[in-house]
Chain A
Amino acid sequence: MMIEALLVVTVASAVAVMFADEEIAGRLAFGLSLLPLAGSLLMLLGFDGSGNALLGGNIAYETQVDWISLGDITVGYHVGVDGISIALLVLTTVLMSLAILSAWTPIDERQSQFYGLMLFMEASLIGVFTALDFLAWFVAWEFVLVPMYFLIAIWGGPRRKYAAIKFFVYTNVASLVMFIGFIALVFGLGDSITSLGLPEIAQALHAGQLGSLAGIAPETLKAVAFVAMFAGFAVKVPLVPFHTWLPDAHVEAPTPVSVILAGVLLKMGTYAMLRFNFTMLPDQAVAFAIPIAIFAVISVIYGAMLALAQQDLKRIVAYSSISSMGYVLLGLVAYNLYGLGGATFQMVAHGLISGLMFMSVGVIYNVAHTRMVGDLSGIADRMPLTATIFTAAAFGYMGLPLMAGFAGELYIFLGGMQSTVLPGAQLFTAVAMFGIVIVAGYLLLAMQRVLFGPFDADTDHEIVPAAVTDRVSIVVLLLLVILLGTAPDLIYGIIQDAVQPILTIGGGF
């Protein structure tokens, strides 16, 4: 009942905040967002699942109710978590509370609508990471777009309307492509399944139940479905060349929304790849290993190069997210314990670190009202705490030891080097590691110019220390990054337990 409670509380909070007065909306939303946060932490503490939810593992907090009957197939409301989803669930609730707190300063109009939409998004994200029935999951997956569209289009920057519609249509096309690919796979299973439950589908696929559909042979069907799903999720991740919606959306979105966009929404793509492509169709994942690795490495390097060329701090962070998500994909395609576990861990770690980076940039912007590298210089004297945290966050991004990013990237590179299914794995990994150097290059360069040196600010606003709530949110987030970096086993253990079956049951690589 825990997950239902989370969903109900979050939706009820969203509605309550929508109707609240402007003045108290922010505080009310933050207070109410602590409820799902506390709930998800309780779930983590009392977590008794084991194994992978899709592969016959012991699912925690499971509920299953029949929802719609479509002839031979029953659609269910089926939720539950395993080690992978609980980690992302906690990431969602933590980041959402902090993002709401960091919105108090910049959001000054239509506040009740803003916070209400944020909570609606939280509810649908909880749905994405807990649903175990395809249609229920797809409802949550698509619903995320609705609040996100409004959040970008109403509270965004000057080109917000263009950015919002581009994000909207682009990701919707991707979902449709993915849907057709997956549903073809489901119908290829014929009578061997009676529901759209993801565990049932995954297990039927592993049992070799796939038949032909409308004259398409099973092997072709698998390959086509794999490509369709991969392309659909790649837009969400996003991988180069499907990334063009991301810089627009990020740059125009208000900072708290960017935090959620980079911190959680991008992880939906890699989470879905792990659940669908890599869990359900392991043989295709191996067959397509080289092209996927090429996508991953190109995203790492090209994303980093693009970041290097930017002048806007937010754009720098946005492009570097593309680069970081390339690492996650590299971990997935390495297809061993370190690779898959590291990729999942990196989803959480990057969620926190990119959230922290966006928040820091947002804090600077709230004060200076500019984010251009050329407009600011030496603001460390005026905003010492923010500058410290920004520096720490940047080092976290470069993978400094004792920060969460280090653990994630280390696992991924270990996995990449040891991979037996990816031909030329060492080469791919080595090239991808070079991305770290570029990251260090652009982040150090930007920091040096903005934070240090003689003070100069080309802005009409006085540079003063940031608001207390802003500082609290970035301090808390930094502490979490350090916590996860020093004690990765807080979640890495259960993650590993959940990805292990993918390898042993899935293919035994």
Chain B
Amino acid sequence: MVELPYLTPQYLFAITALALLIVDTIMPRSKRPDLLAGIAALGSTLVALTSAWFLAAGTGAGRTVLAQFDGMLVVDGTSLFFTFIFGSVATLVILASYDYLSESEAIAEYYSLVTLAALGMSLMAASNNLAALFVSLELASLPSYGLVAYLKRNEGSVEAGLKYFLIGALSSAVMVYGISLIYGATGTLHLSGIAQALQSGLAGLDSLLGLGLIMLIGGFLFKTASVPFHFWAPEAYEGAPAPIAAFISSASKAAGFAVAFRVLVQGFPLDLVGEIVPWGWVFVVLAIVTMTLGNFAAATQENVKRMLAYSSIGHAGYVLIGLAALAGPGDLNTQALVLGAAMMHLLVYGFMNTGAFLFVSMAEKWKVGRTFEDYNGLARQAPYASVAMTVFMFSLAGLPVGGGFLSKYVLFAGTVQAGFWWLAGIAAINSALSLYYYSRVVKSLWIEDPSESLDLGPKPTGMYVAVIGAAVVTVALLFAFDPVAETAIAAASLLLEGGI
């Protein structure tokens, strides 16, 4: 029996991206849009399915597998779990983009940039070495800059792309400088090597390593759109094509967390590095500030896309709790629960937040405008899509219409178990506040009367499929949450046991 390579999902992303470019050069122009969308969607679906299959088959469940380049890339529960998220989000985004791109020229480039970025993200989740991490991070980032600025004749899109690029380039520079400092202090880029160097002492280079680690954390905070490096997010999401905003706010954020989890937990375990940089407590503070700022800013927005942008900052704050709670006195099981809960939340978030942004892109397609008022009465014209949006909003708010309820409350429960009941309390206040602004969207859709006769025109098929599909998965996750929960906790537990 032939065994598939451990990195099959990543290879699939790469093959899809290349296939798109080849087809674009050899196929006649007229047949391209359907075929390109088909290849891209098929490729990403296969990625999601293979990683789910690998997880189900137990690949990397009990131990981390050295996959490629002397262990620079590894495969374990965490990398597969996140690759599943990237594959799913990419599929949804590609489906929705089919209608979004109907009048566009550079379709193949768009799809291949999306798959390349997803490839970069899945490599980030598999990086076991700071050099591999940096390369894959750039592979994820560079296509994203291009995609944000994809509407090159639209001022907003270009401006957003430029802002995103400048801040992204700066943060990459800071990060790579941090990596060089860490290398200087420890003499290795391997995560387990760094942990070993920390164990045997750094011979007075503690503060050098500390500085490097802080710079590295800064890079993570940029990627996950957390305070204080969050301010690019609303601008980039607002200007970017809405499917790309969905992609960046869900997948790119998850990728940032995937590396942050692995690098911090395995390379810089708190019991070794806690004296130099007590990053657990740093994340306690950042989690509080991030979720509070995100939620309060979201509550004051008039533009739905900006509201979603700030809400995604708020959710980054919740997920940061997963790292923050590691500062507590909990044992391995407690820490695995809370870190696993953060992963679960990212997975559910991948569906519900992507779905919400895709609904916004549908509204852009209908040209109904961008504020809450512009959405008034949409449910009368598009009831099914509005039901889906309602599911996304309430699930994001933590009501039991979708898996977001379970992941959020498991996260809160894990936080309490880790001894941070007051942090859970602050998160709870934020969650209640978020109900206010999420329900504003629902109110516009269902309760307000449309201002004038709305005519939405033809229904965009791909977007409908993507939005309804995301809603179905979000609801299904409320009932079939067990596989997600078990996988995430097992993956987190393996992560916490240390790297190789």
A residues apposed to B, CB below 8 Å: 66-72, 135, 138-140, 142-143, 145-146, 149-150, 153-154, 161, 165, 168-169, 172-173, 176-177, 179-180, 183-184, 186-187, 213-215
Which residues of the other chain, B, contact A153 by a CB distance below 8 angstroms?
443, 446-447
Which residues of the other chain, B, contact A135 by a CB distance below 8 angstroms?
406, 409
Residue from A71, A168, A184, A214 in contact with B329 in the complex, judged by beta carbons closer than 8 Å: A214
* Interface check B347, CB cutoff 8 A: no
Which residues of the other chain, A, contact B394 by a CB distance below 8 angstroms?
146
**Alpha-carbon distance A186/B420, docked complex (angstroms):** 15
Known: A145-B399, A146-B394, A183-B413. A161 touches B447 (CB 8 A): yes
Q: Within B36-84, which residues are at the interface with A (CB < 8 Å)?
A: none
Which residues of the other chain, B, contact A169 by a CB distance below 8 angstroms?
432-433, 435-436
**Alpha-carbon distance A169/B436, docked complex (angstroms):** 7
Which residues of the other chain, B, contact A177 by a CB distance below 8 angstroms?
425, 428
Known: A145-B399, A154-B446. A70 touches B337 (CB 8 A): yes
Contact A69–B447 (Cβ < 8 Å): no
Which residues of the other chain, B, contact A214 by a CB distance below 8 angstroms?
328-329, 418-421
* Interface check B333, CB cutoff 8 A: yes
* Interface check B169, CB cutoff 8 A: no
Known: A69-B486, A214-B419. A150 touches B446 (CB 8 A): yes
Which residues of the other chain, B, contact A161 by a CB distance below 8 angstroms?
443, 447
* Interface check B472, CB cutoff 8 A: no
Contact B424–A180 (Cβ < 8 Å): yes
What 16 new A-B contacts, CB under 8 Å, besides A70-B410, A149-B439? A67-B481, A70-B485, A70-B489, A71-B336, A138-B400, A139-B400, A140-B400, A146-B401, A169-B432, A172-B435, A177-B428, A179-B412, A180-B424, A180-B428, A214-B329, A215-B329
- The bracket for how many chain B residues form the interface is 35 or more
* Interface check B361, CB cutoff 8 A: no
Q: Within B475-494, which residues are at the interface with A (CB < 8 Å)?
A: 478, 481-482, 485-486, 489
Name 30 interchain pairs, CB-CB below 8 A, sorted by A: A66-B482, A67-B481, A68-B481, A69-B485, A70-B410, A71-B333, A71-B340, A139-B478, A140-B400, A143-B400, A149-B439, A153-B443, A154-B447, A161-B447, A168-B439, A169-B436, A172-B399, A173-B428, A176-B428, A176-B432, A177-B425, A179-B412, A180-B416, A183-B413, A183-B417, A187-B417, A214-B418, A214-B420, A214-B421, A215-B419
Interface of B is mostly: helix
Which residues of the other chain, A, contact B486 by a CB distance below 8 angstroms?
69
Known: A70-B485, A161-B447. A143 touches B417 (CB 8 A): no
Residue from B328, B336, B340, B421 in contact with A180 in the complex, judged by beta carbons closer than 8 Å: B421
**Alpha-carbon distance A169/B433, docked complex (angstroms):** 7
Known: A143-B399, A154-B447. A173 touches B337 (CB 8 A): no
The residue in chain B whose Cβ has the minimal distance to the Cβ of A173 is B432
The residue in chain A whose Cβ has the minimal distance to the Cβ of B417 is A187
The residue in chain B whose Cβ has the minimal distance to the Cβ of A149 is B439
Known: A71-B336, A183-B413. A142 touches B431 (CB 8 A): no
Least CB distance from A223 to B in Å reads 14
The list of the 9 closest CB pairs from A to B, nearest first, reads A214-B419, A176-B428, A139-B400, A173-B432, A187-B417, A68-B482, A183-B413, A143-B400, A153-B447
